Amino acid sequence: MSTPNTTPLTYNGYVQAVATLAVIPTVTTSGVVSTGSTEFNTLIPQMLNYAELRIQRDLDLFATQIDNSTYALTAGSNLLSISNNDFVTVQDILLTNGTKKTALTPVSREFLQAVYDDSSVTGAPQYFAPYGGDAATVGNTSIMFMLGPYPDQNYGVTIIGTSRAPTLAKYNVDPQASTSTTYISTWLPDLLVMASMIFVSGYQRNFSATSDDPQMAVNYEKQYEALLKGPMIEEARKRFAASGWTAMSPTPVATADRK
């Protein structure tokens, strides 16, 4: 495997970078970097949460699109339960029958309830619709999808959608703290640091007219927004969703349709 053409951030590198910008001394204990501030160390996991989740929501990273073929439909049940740990958004549900996979068509829940609400009418499902969270945990465990018609037999399904990328915080132990990276810390380290510094500004109380530097959070926010523009275009290009539905960079010169 080739090495990335970036300067990736390990957990230790991340803590050192943010602590340096925040002017907080660091120490290394048993191979893991931390700071001399107990309060700041306590906030590091949530600082990463803030930065990593914001980046994933802002960019809808192509790298987080995955498929999962471990789910199945049960004959006579028109509901499919999908773990929140596996998917954030579901884009496609494909019905598996032997080696053949058939994509189901997304429709509204109201359509399924009006057309396929009779459990005595069964067949190979053709449609699916978002239904809601599981009742037991009010959506904390699973999201539910309705299908129509009711399955006439057990079917395997392949689900394609986006998942949450692993957090860098999971590598806060030796030796991973100095060696392991994530997709975001490898390919978007600049955004990761900038988003983290917005969070740090709150910790340092630099967010109001009475603070030492009321512009600190504003300036980091502006820098984050400036850096965000480039990856947004790159993510669209990865999906062939850039100008003219191609993978090319937008151009102010070429205006005719690409042939």
What is the crossing angle of helices 38-59 and 216-238, to 10°?
40
- Which string of DSSP letters, residue by residue, matches 77-134? --EEEEETTT-SEEEEEEEEETTEEEEPEE--HHHHHHHS--TTSEES--EEEEEEE-
Per-residue pLDDT tens over the stretch 87-146: 999 999 999 888 889 999 999 999 999 999 999 999 999 999 999 999 999 999 999 999
Query: What is the structure's pLDDT at 216?
Result: 61
Query: What is the structure's pLDDT at 206?
Result: 46
Task: Report angle CA 23, 25, 27 to the nearest 5 degrees.
Answer: 150
Per-residue pLDDT tens over the stretch 137-157: 999 999 999 999 999 999 999
Spell out, as residue ranges, where the chain has pLDDT lower than 70.
1, 204-217, 254-259
Query: What is the structure's pLDDT at 259?
Result: 59
Query: What is the structure's pLDDT at 13?
Result: 98
What is the crossing angle of helices 216-238 and 189-203, to 10°?
150
Q: What is the pTM of this model?
A: 0.87
Q: Which amino acid, residue 219?
A: N
